[in-house]
Amino acid sequence: SQKIEQNSEALNIQEGKTATLTCNYTNYSPAYLQWYRQDPGRGPVFLLLIRENEKEKRKERLKVTFDTTLKQSLFHITASQPADSATYLCAPGVGSARQLTFGSGTQLTVLP
Amino acid sequence: DGGITQSPKYLFRKEGQNVTLSCEQNLNHDAMYWYRQDPGQGLRLIYYSQIVNDFQKGDIAEGYSVSREKKESFPLTVTSAQKNPTAFYLCASSIGLAGMGGEQFFGPGTRLTVL
């Protein structure tokens, strides 16, 4: 069955450092992968989408990579700030699918 | 402002009662979704709808029901058949279904507690 794994439930880093979050998937051949941010008690907010033919995507301090050979996506936040503290969810998508499946998320805490 | 709204934000229910969660969007999106989120877990899909008067079961539809009589509205009823209904419920919408890759817009959520 399809499985999505996001690295350790919680990640703590120091302000100014680069945070790297991992999303691994098995029994999947996603055509794209989405990343969302979720703050406590709120709905997720879309951040980035990367397609299978794209190796890397950037948006301001965010960078996403997509390695279909390793079946992995990495999500980087450079020059991290305490305001980046949140849970980040990955969601690989299959082109023929009618629904999106979400990983359980990684809770990031940026320490001042 | 365009967006997606859910009401109420907090809901308390006695065991054995049905309860309906509201979800409205003015984004003119065709697709709408209902997810359930439990502490420390990801989102699990309950139901989704691609078009008015059509909806499909997701991964955990048992004990839930939906309707899609208007494009803007996709209410979720949590029935007494749902054994463990206490959770955070999220509604979302997108221009098209997942296969198209479009982002999903989420509402603020409803936290349901069964007393």
- Do A95 and B99 count as a contact with CB atoms less than 8 A apart? yes
pLDDT category of residue A70 using cuts at 50, 70 and 90? very high
Euclidean distance between CA atoms A34 and A89, whole angstroms: 8
Q: For strand A19-26 and strand A72-77, is the pairing parallel, antiparallel, or unpaired?
A: antiparallel
Q: What mean pLDDT comes out for the span A47-58?
A: 93
Of chain B, the percentage scoring pLDDT greater than 70 comes to: 97
From CA B77, how far away is CA B21, in angstroms rounded?
A: 6
Handedness of CA B29, B34, B38, B41 (dihedral sign): negative
pLDDT computed for residue B2 by the predictor: 66
Contact flag B40-A104 (C-beta cutoff 8 Å): yes
B103 DSSP assignment: P
Half-sphere exposure at residue B64, Cβ-oriented, CA atoms within 13 angstroms: 27
- Of residues A70 and A99, more confidence is placed in A70
Q: Please list every residue in chain B whose beta carbon sits closer than 8 Å to the beta carbon of residue A101.
A: 45
Sign of the CA dihedral B84, B85, B90, B94?
Answer: positive
- Model pLDDT, residue B76: 97
Q: Which residues contact A70 (CB under 8 A, 6 or more apart)?
A: none
